[in-house]
Structure 1
Amino acid sequence: MSDNTAGAKRTTTAKPNPAGDFATVRRRAPRPQADRAAAAAMVVTNAENTAKASFFGTGQGVPGVSLIPQPAAAAPVAEAPVVQEPTAPAPAAPVAEAPVAEAPVVQEPTAPAPAAPVAEAPVAEAPVVQTALTTSFLESKGGPTRGWESHGVNLIPALWPLLRSRMTRDRKTSGHDLNLGHYIDAALRQAKLETEHLIALHDKLSAERMGDLPKGRKTTLSLSREARENAAQILELLEGADFARKGKDVMSALVLNFLRALQKEGDLPRPELPPLI
């Protein structure tokens, strides 16, 4: 750059001779008249050509003649090689990530919905007193071989008609040939042998009857060994509590409770006999 600049300065600072080429011509030795005419003609021709070049912009003059001396061409200056600065590496093109397959969602097994509670059918209570009455009836068929013997029974008068009415009713529904002894036997075998319980039965019956517990009516009936033994134990318990004279009332209360329990269980059903074959 510095060499080219210096050459440019020399070009602009060089001043042409004000007298031009004509001054140079005047200082030359005199020529012959013919040479002067040829030279004058050439000068005119060069001037015209220069004017034409200036007007048309062709920049071409007369070959071999230069009106304005041209400076010597500057020697070409070798330019220093341009050092390429290391360019930053182009950013790597973003690599498209391969789509990651999502893991399938595993549905957790749901617990089965709780089953609706099934309304249980009410379980019918076992007919305890009916079973006891039927057992007494069946065992009595064995007679003395089964231990059945006659035994005195004393009850309040109002209770005997209730026993007969129930017996008649059960005979019709069950088909069994029942008698009063079967009811007394079943009542004694179902009795709770405790002193306090027996006395409580008496007090309840006395309260219901408003103390009207008249003299009893006695009869003899066939009872099982178990029923007879229970009757004897009841008397012992009452005697131990100084309550033996109320034995008739306690026995009446036991039979009355048994009849009421039968009433709650309904009619005595006819048994279903198995087929013979």
Structure 2
Amino acid sequence: MGLLSEPVAGRDIELVGEHAMQQNNLAIPPMGPDRCKHCKRAYTREHLDNCLAKAWYVYLLCFERIFFFLTLQLTMVAKLFGLAAGLLVLGGIANAHGSHSSDQPPSDDWATRHMIEEHHIEAFDPPSFFILHDYDSSGTWTHDEVRKTYGLNDQSNAAVSEDKKQDAVRTVFALFDPGNTGFITRDDWLQGIAAGKRLPDLGFGPGHHGDIEYEYEIHHFEKYHGDDTTEADLTHPEDIEHFKQHDEEEDAALRLEKLEQMQVVVGNIPQKFRRNM
């Protein structure tokens, strides 16, 4: 029987090949220091090269499969995060483009709602509320001032009838003008509050009483934009409507300026007095 060539370096042992032993009906010796624990074959340099190559191939194959499954899992996680982020963005857009009419259920303390939504103030006292809404600093609230505070002059309540608006003002005066003087003084207000009276929610919203610039700033720009917002970012319907109002005001001012420069305003001449105009 021939010997297997090139035994492992450092070993001076003659190793008999497995095939030769099988041909001679010899039992394969048990795995020991001279046999590979993986394939049970005798150690030779050729065997080591083949065995290690196969082992590396198996390891690489396993690594490839593990990498594939990890990539698949990461892809699924990324898609889930993307979906969640998309839903949040859509929700934010829906809120930004939705109505700012503040359709909320009536509140027993309308003044608190008004201060939070219209002035972004949560902590205040009755005297400061009175002074803030005493627009001419006269020390009293008039019918016009209460009407303004409740936002009855705002465009959002343009469809409300005049009778309903007057009824709303009378309701407030019935609470805080016990002497029926036609005015609500600071003392009337403070005494009413001390007695447990509150401004009622009459169903006309939070009380928009600022100009168009103030209302746009406090109800939209501060909520959905920031100091670093550029003109290109102002694409919400509220932004477009706001700038449209500015354009209309500028156009109206230009028309008025032209009319003032005319010696005769043709539009003011009755039709029966016009000839060839």
TM-score range, shorter chain: under 0.3
User: Structure 1 or 2: larger helix share?
Assistant: 2
**Which of structures 1 and 2 has the larger relative contact order (alpha carbons within 8 angstroms, sep 6+)?**
1
TM-score with structure 1 setting the length: 0.24
For the pair shown, the structure with the greater C-alpha radius of gyration is: 1
TM-score with structure 2 setting the length: 0.24
